[in-house]
Structure 1
Amino acid sequence: MNVGFIGTGTMGSLLIEAFIASGALSPPQITVSNRTFTKAQALADRYSGMKAETANAGAACGKDIVFLCVKPHEFKKVVDELKPVMRPDQIAVSITSPVLISHLEGELDCKIAKVIPSITNHVGSGASLCIYGKRIGEEDKQRLEGLLSYISEPLCIAEEYTRIVSDLSSCGPAFMSFFLEQFIEAAVAETGIGREEAQRVASAMLLGTGLLLTEGGLSPADIQARVAVPGGITAKALSLLQRETGGVFNQLIRTTHAKFREDLSKVSVAFIGEEVNGQ
């Protein structure tokens, strides 16, 4: 399998590095391009056999799978560059949530998929959220999910839920890390415990909680019920959290969805010349 990556920014580089580290791909199987060629070349220089191309078309030509790891406002330009070289048997995979399957199927004569990765894929964990176009067959799905399974748990989702599952899976690590950071900083300020020690304890706690929710088969409510003895310390603290944070995640979701709709409108104007009401 030969794979092209267009865009070697944060997520593009993360996917490349994760695939190589997991053994899913070897460097000679990978070709990369980037708006700034020196960044693509710097990445290729780190991995013997990887090839960097100056043109996006060069990174896509003849590849089995082409990952499009570019920002929404850059997408139409990149797609226009790929039109002459993409063929029906190739799979183009967008990792940019506001770019719809219909946008790409209307422009490229190939199979189309969308994958929402997560920073957790860097350590072979978390989900890869997969959305498929109408040209994708079962064999194509197996090929793509087989690749993604080296670094994640591939999960098929409906495109209408792109934003909310992205909030949970892709943005979620940042959101949870924010609250953990606040917890750690408060522990340091209130008690004088060393920051590194507090972070070590809190990080182990978060890892263990994740395992309880997955391998342990517990729900968030189950964990709270088991930890919070009625009338005890944890129960009192949970009451405080319920009072102080009630509705905050509703506001968070409204905020991410508003930004998504803004980006989707801009992408739709670029592709079809008009705004659409997106997922």
Structure 2
Amino acid sequence: MKIGLIGTGNMGTILLEALITGGAVSPSDFIVTNRTKSKADRLKHKYRDITVESSADEVIRQSDIIFICVKPLDIISLTKEKAELFSREKCLVSITSPIQVPWLEEMVDASCARIIPSITNRAHAGVSLFTFGDSCKYHWKDKLWEMFSKVSVPFEIHEDIIRVSSDIVSCGPAFISFLTRSLIEAAATETKIDEGTATMLAENMLIGLGELLKQKHFTLPALQEKVCVKGGITGEGIAVMEQEKGEMFEKLFRATHKKFADEAFHIQNKFSS
């Protein structure tokens, strides 16, 4: 079975590397292309057995499953232009949240799905969010679920919570990285610790926290309660955080949902035109 990948930007590359290193797809089964071909050629240097094509047409023709990893507006243009190439026996997969699967189904005869990966999939961890089209054939559902089970925890998601789920799963690592970097910078500014040492300590703390949760020693509330001894130093820190955070996360979700709604509006207009 041949797996096509159109677009080798950040997420396209992470997706390919995760599926290869996780043993879900052999390099020789990947056929890829990118608007700037040199970016796809760089992957060829790393995984010699992948096939790099100069056009999306060739990738679609030769592939059974086609992952489209380009910008949301470009997905509509590409799918419309290449609609006749997405024949009934193929499976088209978008990896971006604003593109609704029914829109894809209206444009092509292929089975359609949306899978939103996370950068954590590169470490064969985290969640991947699934939405299947009504006409997606069962063997494609099973195949995609099997593939992503090797690099993530696949989770089928309803359209009405796709944005918030993506905020947590896909954007979450960037949000947590920002908070951790802020902790590191404040530590280096307010105390005698140097930034390199603080970074090492923080990174290994995150790794340890992940292992505690993975091994189910604690839930998040139980972990906080365990560390935050009443009247202790951690409690003083938590009190500051509770006071200072205000509506930060509420505002975060409002901002991401507004951006999502704006993008979806423009994409739907382009889809309808």
Aligned to 2:135: 135
Give the Å deviation of 1:217.
Answer: 5.3
C-alpha separation in 2, matches of 1:172 and 1:162: 14
Q: For 2:22 and 2:198, how far apart are their aligned partners in 1? A: 31
Superposition deviation, residue 158 in structure 1: 0.8
The answer as to 2:26 corresponding to 1:26 is yes
TM-score (norm 2): 0.95
Q: Is the 8 A contact 1:111 1:133 kept in 2?
A: yes
What is the TM-score when the length of structure 1 is the normalising length? 0.93
Q: CA deviation at 1:49?
A: 2.3
| 2:161 aligned residue | 161
Q: What secondary structure does 1:270 align onto?
A: helix
Which blocks of at least 5 consecutive residues in structure 2 are unaligned? Answer: none
Give the match's secondary structure for 1:115. Answer: strand
Offset at 1:107?
A: 0.3
**Distance apart, 1:215 and its partner CA:** 2.4
The answer for the alignment partner of 2:244 in structure 1 is 244
**Uncovered stretches (5+) of structure 1, i.e. residues with no partner:** 274-279
CA distance in 2, matches of 1:78, 1:12: 16
Distance 1:155 1:246 in 2: 31
> Per-residue CA shift, 1:45-74, capped at 9, x if unaligned?
432221112221211114221101010121
Matched pairs, number = 273
2:179 corresponding residue in structure 1? 179
Contact 1:128 1:155 (C-alpha < 8 Å) held by counterparts? yes
Task: After TM superposition, give the deviation of residue 231 of structure 1 in Å.
Answer: 1.1
Q: 1:75-94 alignment to 2 at 5 Å?
A: 75-94=75-94
Q: Deviations over 1:211-247 (max 9, x none)?
A: 3333225332211111111111111111110010021
**Structure 1 equivalent of residue 254 of structure 2:** 254
Q: Which moved more, 1:255-264 or 1:39-48?
A: 39-48
- Looking at structure 2, the residues matched to 74 and 153 of structure 1 have their Cα atoms a distance apart, in angstroms, of 28
Q: State which drifts further: 165-174 or 150-159.
A: 150-159
Alignment partners' CA distance in 2, 1:29 and 1:74:
25
Question: Which residue of 2 is the match for residue 95 of structure 1?
Answer: 95
- Report the more deviating stretch, 99-108 or 214-223: 214-223
1:15 is aligned to 2:9: no
Q: Distance in 2 between matches of 1:111 and 1:137?
A: 6
Assess, with a 3 A threshold, how the Cα gap between structure 1 residues 262 and 92 changes in structure 2: closer, same or farther: same
What is the CA RMSD across the aligned residues, in angstroms? 1.4
The code of the aligned residue for 2:131 comes to: I
The one-letter code of the counterpart of 2:50 is: M
Question: What's 1:277 paired with?
Answer: none
Identity among equivalent positions (%) equals 38
Q: Kindly indicate whether the alpha-carbon contact (under 8 Å) linking 1:33 and 1:59 is maintained by their aligned counterparts in 2.
A: yes
Residues in 1 aligned to 2:216 and 2:37: alpha-carbon distance in whole angstroms: 46
For the 8 Å contact 1:129–1:154, the answer to whether it is kept is: yes
Displacement of 1:201 after TM fit?
1.3
Q: Secondary structure at the match of 2:231?
A: coil
- AA aligned to 1:80 is K
1:200 matched to 2:200: yes
Residue 23 (structure 1) shift: 2.1
- SS of match in other structure, 2:107: coil
